[in-house]
Structure 1
């Protein structure tokens, strides 16, 4: 696809001040004409370019899921194998009677958490989608610094698991769906099951074979890194405070967030799926990864946005579009969106890899207007710019 329609769709948001810049593409198996608009940093004025580094946030989740499935193929563990022997902190944890129950009002765990539960996010730990302070469990999650976010916590993997293991579960394994926690725990599982560092595993099983040379948990070249911003009103952006040591891998690398990457590396990941695994995974594993794995009961018990599962399913580590959301990815697309304004969806039927990379922090778990404009351009429809302040229009 020519980059001009995407550039035309995103340019108004840069001109209005709602975006500093973006790099985006709708790539086929061979073509990848990249659209670059705006700047990496409003202070320096350095232009966005194809080699700009982005914090891709939750786009980490599908990548870690691929490595988990590669280990299933190797026999490191089985999909339906309990994880208790690797993650004893989570073995036999009690389950809240209801999501709003006091923390002592619990019932026994009905069965162990399995590898499949972690990949499908049906394991029982995760984000509670409700206003802060609605439920006692939210307050405890915040007290323990276990909530999601793009910045790493100042403690180790083992400390993170120890803290998580003091909480009751949100629901029984396989009885609901909760966001984010599956990726976090999956990353810890991969490390303990193999005895290897998570980044080393990703490098050996995914980044190296696919030539994703710019993807890591650290920043290989700080001069190429785009500044992250948060919205500060219509047409205004404020630079996000970056955590100390932001150039280096964090103390605890996460299976849910934290990777830094480029548009070409994201395209390489999507093309691997289009090619049926390209030696990284077998075709059967790609099919499982990209197929909706959730039952109706799991969707009904989801602690997530009302109506989300009317148009979406969840495969392994990422969403599957079960119907076309206009504007949005085509039906059958697999991928996810990151909280710092990133998106990577592979349209398996259409043979396209669609990537949108910004560093504008999302204000809510719904697409921003500039993302809508990107999807309209990808679909070949006229783009009409709206500012974030006009979202309800």
Structure 2
């Protein structure tokens, strides 16, 4: 899809004036204030694009305007794609969700749970039960991310550069390193955002017999026509890669551009970015670059029950399984989470197999529907799908960390406020 051609919002039960207010909000509060370099927002309802906007710059230093086909680092928005790919193998009968992970990674059979100590002299205890495949998909595995800086286990991840944005090593080396680091908790006892989806990517390659990146290309990207989604940006598309920025602690940013009233600290220059060449570590948890158009294609397939334009990724019952809360006891993230970040609200939100899942909108204190599923990325990209309202929203920018501003909450409130004809 080279460009977006919005239809009348009113024809899909939405208010154009209310949608336009979102653009004004983003421009005033974020772009003009120097908090974001630029933004892209796409809203689709009832099978029609009802709103599409691009504002600001993809690259402030070079004054490159953001465009419909700008390529973004989507970081953890990679996770839903990887999770869908894995469930394709489940549908083929090649793997089951309740199988122990050590069936496929024998060196993990003796993984213990952290009790005390620092690497390499950890004191551990046996887990209450083995880690299962489902634990990886729903982040109840006992694995972690080093950036959480909460425990000695996190520190061991940082020491070995496991799960960092500047990815090092290979999938094989990550699996070998994780065999030497204890779990933070017994699988199933808690929810902790982690490298679990990177492990899922490793398992896709091992179980399918096809390299993980090739599996995604042959089974998802090529069939759906997602031509701009990959783990690197080829030379002929390099001019479309956006710059990525760091948000300052004050809520503003620092390296000045004449085009911005605030400032920006450049985190990744698109002219020298590591994303311009194939990585050694193929991260199913956060490695993809994509466009809003490509990601909308993926979301449309999900909203349509797992298929789009004659291409079926997964069956509707499998998708329903993925978008159901899988946290033990049907608890929400408030009850089970050991990590706090901005990819989802917590109260009233559970976690499925690769997505956050809204269970009770009243508890989230944000307008929405039960059964919405969503996720976001470290550079403040995000999406959500609301099957009840036949709604897809995709937001793109490039500012790390995603916790810097409450833009996701604001977007949800304002997009739902634009609905004039609810399906509920």
Quote the offset at 1:99 in angstroms.
Answer: 11
For residue 240 of structure 1, what is the aligned residue in structure 2?
A: 267
Q: Give the 5 Å matches for 1:221-240.
A: 221-232=237-248, 233=250, 234=252, 235-240=262-267
Q: Is contact 1:99-1:170 (8 Å) kept?
A: no
Structure 2 residue 179 is matched with structure 1 residue 165 = yes
For residue 395 of structure 2, what is the aligned residue in structure 1?
A: 356
Q: Give the 5 Å matches for 1:57-76.
A: 57-76=75-94
For 2:31, which of 6, 14, 36 is the aligned residue?
14
Q: Give the 5 Å matches for 1:1-393.
A: 1=9, 2=16, 4-12=20-28, 13-32=30-49, 33-97=51-115, 104-127=122-145, 132=149, 134-146=150-162, 148-153=163-168, 155-220=169-234, 221-232=237-248, 233=250, 234=252, 235-241=262-268, 245-278=274-307, 279-296=312-329, 300-305=335-340, 309-324=346-361, 325-327=364-366, 330-362=369-401, 364=403, 368-380=405-417
Quote the offset at 1:193 in angstroms.
Answer: 1.2
Q: Is contact 1:209-1:280 (8 Å) kept?
A: no
Deviations 1:349-368 (A, max 9, x none): 1111110000011263xx72
Q: 1:112 to 1:298 in 2, by over 3 A?
A: farther
Q: Is contact 2:79-2:286 (8 Å) kept?
A: yes
Q: Is contact 2:147-2:154 (8 Å) kept?
A: no
Deviations 1:246-272 (A, max 9, x none): 212210101100101111111111111
Q: State the alpha-carbon separation in 1 of the partners of residues 336 and 384 from structure 2.
A: 25
Q: State the alpha-carbon separation in 2 of the partners of residues 246 and 289 from structure 1.
A: 30
Quote the offset at 1:369 in angstroms.
Answer: 3.3
Which has the higher relative contact order, 1 or 2, with Cα contacts under 8 A spaced 6 or more apart? 1
Q: Is contact 2:45-2:392 (8 Å) kept?
A: yes
Q: 1:99 to 1:349 in 2, by over 3 A?
A: farther
Q: For structure 1, which segment, 219-228 or 318-327, has the greater mean C-alpha deviation from structure 2 after superposition?
A: 318-327
Count of aligned pairs between the two proteins: 376
Deviations 1:124-183 (A, max 9, x none): 1113786x3x5322222221112x343321x12111111111001111122222112221
Q: For structure 1, which segment, 228-237 or 156-165, has the greater mean C-alpha deviation from structure 2 after superposition?
A: 228-237
Q: 1:222 to 1:29 in 2, by over 3 A?
A: farther
Q: State the alpha-carbon separation in 1 of the partners of residues 41 and 116 from structure 2.
A: 42
**Any gaps of 5 or more consecutive residues in structure 1?**
383-393
Deviations 1:304-330 (A, max 9, x none): 239954221000011112233344754
Deviations 1:199-244 (A, max 9, x none): 1111122212222111110113110111001123423211114576
RMSD across aligned positions (CA): 2.6
Q: Helix, strand or coil: the match of 1:268?
A: helix
- State the TM-score, normalizing by the size of structure 1: 0.88
Q: State the alpha-carbon separation in 2 of the partners of residues 282 and 352 from structure 1.
A: 20
Q: State the alpha-carbon separation in 1 of the partners of residues 366 and 381 from structure 2.
A: 16
Q: Is contact 1:9-1:374 (8 Å) kept?
A: no
Q: For structure 1, which segment, 300-309 or 52-61, has the greater mean C-alpha deviation from structure 2 after superposition?
A: 300-309
Q: Is contact 1:82-1:112 (8 Å) kept?
A: yes
Q: Is contact 1:218-1:246 (8 Å) kept?
A: yes
Q: Is contact 1:231-1:360 (8 Å) kept?
A: yes
Deviations 1:18-52 (A, max 9, x none): 11001111112432231111111102222211111
Q: Is contact 2:112-2:125 (8 Å) kept?
A: yes
Q: Is contact 1:122-1:174 (8 Å) kept?
A: yes
Q: 1:44 to 1:91 in 2, by over 3 A?
A: same
